[in-house]
RNA sequence: GGGGCGGUAGCUCAGCCGGUCAGAGCAUCGGACUCAUAAUCCGUGGGUCGUGGGUUCAAGUCCCACCCGCCCUACCA
């Protein structure tokens, strides 16, 4: 499976919303790797956005400097969040990116034409509007622009796109999002502008082949990363031969991924992605998270404060498949204490201690499995429902804790203790296996605590985050 | 303006094609237990399922209108 995240533009540092998408992609990648499937997990940054130029000007630093600094912060999420991406592309520095964008441009030449355009342009949106003000409320005033741009014949692909999505050859999940896209396409597609004046872009971006006065529209540039990130062999393997190509995207950019991108590929005669998984947004304390609104919900800071397991667990266990989710520190702490400390951590602790206390640390033979959850986890992930998958894993924790109460090893003779503790150690080991895609660090610690023939009393795996 | 999503116990939410669908978790309260990170297990209370109509033998579950929140899209029929 080829799994991608969107590549955020790096006008600021990453926020929790980026972390959500990365962690979701990471779970899919780890899950499918665990199943023995070939996986390539791709992410990166969009360095070529005009917004980066503006952010640099506002901050009084060079574009290169700002872009490098912020891109490094995004790439640094790998360590902070235990991400397992195979490659990280930066559109301004990746060796093959520019050439790849140019190649796709040329391959679609039969659908490109120039048109004079006059209108109001919002640099914040990188879009034209018939009237002001900018609907997104960007600070910068709309600019009166009169120029000639390149246009792409998107209108030509309307029927093909409808057929693609309706037939499921291009899967869009959740269904509500698929319907949204279908409604948009069915309403009629206009050709889109796919270049910008190089002068207004301050020379930042990729020049249009054969027209250096124009730079390639940043979305065209950015979308291409899904194939330009791959070298020739990689392209063949992951974009031509791979049967499952999945884009994870936020709800705000569905149109680009489910309409523009497939149309570009159709025009260029290239293979298409097979699925687009759309997540909704996070709010923080009831307020919209935006990169410009300060450093609220900084994932690296949250990891520093609460640990990677708590942060990943909140993102996976608490965020619904449909609908925005509100993040607060209190919710993260409550969820971590309830599930990780009181549930999983305490379970491992009581099991290990009983083995030490009653069986002198010797691990008895494994008993019957307590619950079978791998299938439910898999089905939930196929359905792109991370919360349901995480909940399924937790059935093991609850089942094991209930089993302890039911069998009461402390009241049994040695044979009884061996039987129930054998079952419990087995359950903890299974838990470590099932947990790996979600909380790789925690899974490893659980595995270490209950691995081997002899156990010792473990330190608390997950100390409570709140004061008792 | 058009389209979409959400509005279900104090909180976070499940409820697919209409008929045990009025639920789960947390919180509250009561009980049990003592292996464990003052953790765990069992049970209880609590809701006119946004509002008002309609269809139906039967509607959170379908239709219409409206209110609130959010998203996408467009401001020319």
In chain A, domain spans: 2-296, 329-450
Residues (31-60, chain A) with CB within 7 Å of strand B atoms: none
Output A134 or A456, whichever has higher pLDDT: A456
Residues in Cβ contact with A103 at an 8 Å cutoff, skipping those fewer than 6 apart: none
Which CATH superfamily hosts domain A329-450?
Isoleucyl-tRNA Synthetase; Domain 1 (1.10.730.10)
Q: Provide the token pair at A466.
A: 């709140």
Q: Which of A349, A354, A372 lies closest to A419, judged by CA?
A: A354
Local confidence band at A52 (pLDDT 50, 70, 90 cut-offs): confident
Please give the Cα distance from A392 to A46 (Å, whole number). Answer: 36
Alpha-carbon distance of A92 to A218, in angstroms, equals: 12
**Interface confidence (ipTM) of the complex:** 0.87
pLDDT at A460: 87
pLDDT at A75: 94
Q: Is the pLDDT of residue A131 over 80?
A: no
What percent of chain A clears pLDDT 70, i.e. is strictly above it? 92
Nearest alpha carbon to residue A118 among A109, A131, A133: A131
CB A204 within 8 A of CB A48: yes
When the pLDDT of each residue in chain A is averaged and rounded to a whole number, the result is 87
* Distance, Å, A212 CA → B76 C1': 35
Please confirm, yes or no, whether A288 is among the known catalytic residues: yes
Q: Which residues contact A463 (CB under 8 A, 6 or more apart)?
A: A341, A345
Which pLDDT belongs to residue A263?
Answer: 93
Reported as a single tens digit per residue, the pLDDT across A370-384 is 777 888 888 888 888
Catalytic residue, chosen from A15, A247, A257, A279, is: A15
State residue A295's pLDDT score: 47
Of the listed ranges A44-48, A54-58, A337-341, the least confidently predicted one is A54-58
Q: Point out the residue nearest to B70 (C-alpha to C1').
A: A324
**Which of A 193-252 have CB under 7 A of nucleic chain B?**
251-252
Predicted confidence band at A133 (pLDDT cuts at 50, 70, 90)? low
Segment A67-87, tens digit of pLDDT: 999 999 999 999 999 999 999
Task: Give the number of other CB atoms < 10 A from CB of residue A241.
Answer: 10
Q: Is A134 a catalytic residue?
A: yes
Assess whether A272 (CB) lies less than 7 A from strand B.
no
Weakest mean pLDDT among A139-153, A164-178, A205-219, A304-318: A139-153
Q: Strand B positions with any atom < 7 Å from protein CB?
A: 3-6, 12-14, 25-27, 33-42, 70-75
Homologous superfamily (CATH) for A2-296: HUPs (3.40.50.620)
Residue A120 clears pLDDT 90, i.e. is over it: no
The encoded tokens of residue A447 equal 């595995």
What whole-number distance in Å separates Cα of residue A142 and Cα of residue A140? 7
Percent of chain A with pLDDT over 90: 48
Q: What is the pLDDT of residue A452?
A: 86
Phi and psi based region of residue A307 (left: phi greater than 0; alpha: psi -120 to 50; beta: remaining): left
Q: Which residues pair with A163 in a beta bridge?
A: none
* A209-261 pLDDT per residue, tens: 999 988 998 888 899 999 999 999 999 999 999 999 999 998 888 889 999 99
Tokens of A279: 């997540």
pLDDT above 60 for A293: no
Which of the 313-372 residues on chain A come under 7 Å of nucleic strand B at their beta carbon?
318, 320-326, 334, 338, 341-346, 348-350, 353-354, 357
Residues with Cβ < 8 Å from A418, sequence gap 6 or more?
A359, A364, A365
Q: Is residue A138 flagged as an active site residue?
A: yes
- Is residue A88 predicted with pLDDT exceeding 80? yes
> Same fold for the domain at A2-296 and the one at A329-450?
no
**Whole-structure pTM value:** 0.92
Residue A135 has pLDDT above 60, yes or no: no
When pLDDT is cut at 50, 70 and 90, the band that residue A291 belongs to is low
């Amino acid at each position: 499976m080829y799994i991608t995240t969107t590549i955020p533009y790096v006008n600021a540092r990453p926020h929790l919303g980026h972390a959500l998408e990365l962690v979701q992609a990471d779970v899919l990648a780890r899950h499918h790797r665990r199943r023995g499937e070939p996986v390539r997990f791709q992410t990166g940054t969009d360095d070529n956005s005009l917004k980066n130029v503006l952010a640099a000007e506002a901050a009084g630093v060079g574009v290169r400097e700002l872009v490098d600094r912020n891109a490094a912060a995004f790439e640094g999420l790998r360590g902070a969040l235990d991400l397992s991406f195979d490659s990280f592309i930066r559109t301004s520095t990746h060796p093959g990116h520019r050439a790849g964008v140019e190649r796709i441009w040329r391959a679609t030449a039969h659908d490109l034409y120039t048109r004079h355009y006059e209108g109001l342009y919002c640099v914040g949106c990188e879009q034209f509007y018939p009237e002001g003000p900018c609907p997104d409320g960007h600070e910068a005033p709309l600019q009166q622009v009169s120029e000639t741009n390149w246009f792409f014949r998107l209108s030509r692909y309307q029927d093909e796109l409808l057929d693609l999505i309706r037939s499921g050859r291009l899967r869009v999940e959740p269904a509500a999002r698929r319907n949204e896209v279908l409604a948009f396409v069915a309403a009629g597609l206009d050709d889109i502008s796919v270049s910008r004046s190089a002068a207004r872009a301050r020379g930042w971006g990729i020049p249009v082949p054969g027209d250096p006065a124009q730079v390639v529209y940043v979305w065209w540039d950015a979308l291409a990363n899904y194939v330009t990130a791959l070298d020739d062999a990689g392209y063949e393997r992951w974009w031509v031969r791979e049967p499952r190509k999945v884009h994870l995207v936020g709800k705000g950019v569905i149109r680009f991924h489910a309409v523009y991108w497939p149309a570009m590929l159709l025009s260029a005669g290239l293979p298409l992605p097979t699925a687009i998984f759309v997540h909704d947004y996070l709010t923080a304390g009831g307020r919209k998270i935006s990169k410009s609104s300060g450093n609220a919900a900084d994932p690296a800071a949250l990891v520093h404060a609460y640990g990677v397991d708590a942060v990943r667990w909140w993102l996976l266990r608490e965020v619904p498949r449909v609908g925005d989710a509100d993040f607060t520190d209190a919710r993260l702490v409550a969820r971590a204490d309830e599930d990780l400390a009181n549930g999983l951590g305490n379970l491992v602790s009581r099991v290990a201690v009983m083995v030490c206390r009653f069986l002198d640390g010797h691990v008895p033979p494994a008993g019957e499995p307590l619950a079978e959850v791998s299938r439910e986890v898999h089905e939930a992930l196929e359905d792109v429902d991370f919360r349901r998958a995480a909940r399924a894993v937790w059935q093991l924790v609850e089942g094991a804790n209930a089993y302890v109460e039911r069998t009461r090893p402390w009241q049994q003779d040695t044979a009884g203790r061996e039987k129930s503790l054998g079952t419990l150690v087995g359950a903890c080991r299974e838990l470590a296996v099932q947990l790996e895609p979600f909380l790789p660090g925690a899974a490893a610690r659980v595995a270490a605590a209950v691995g081997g023939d002899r156990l010792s009393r473990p330190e608390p795996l997950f100390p409570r985050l709140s004061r008792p």
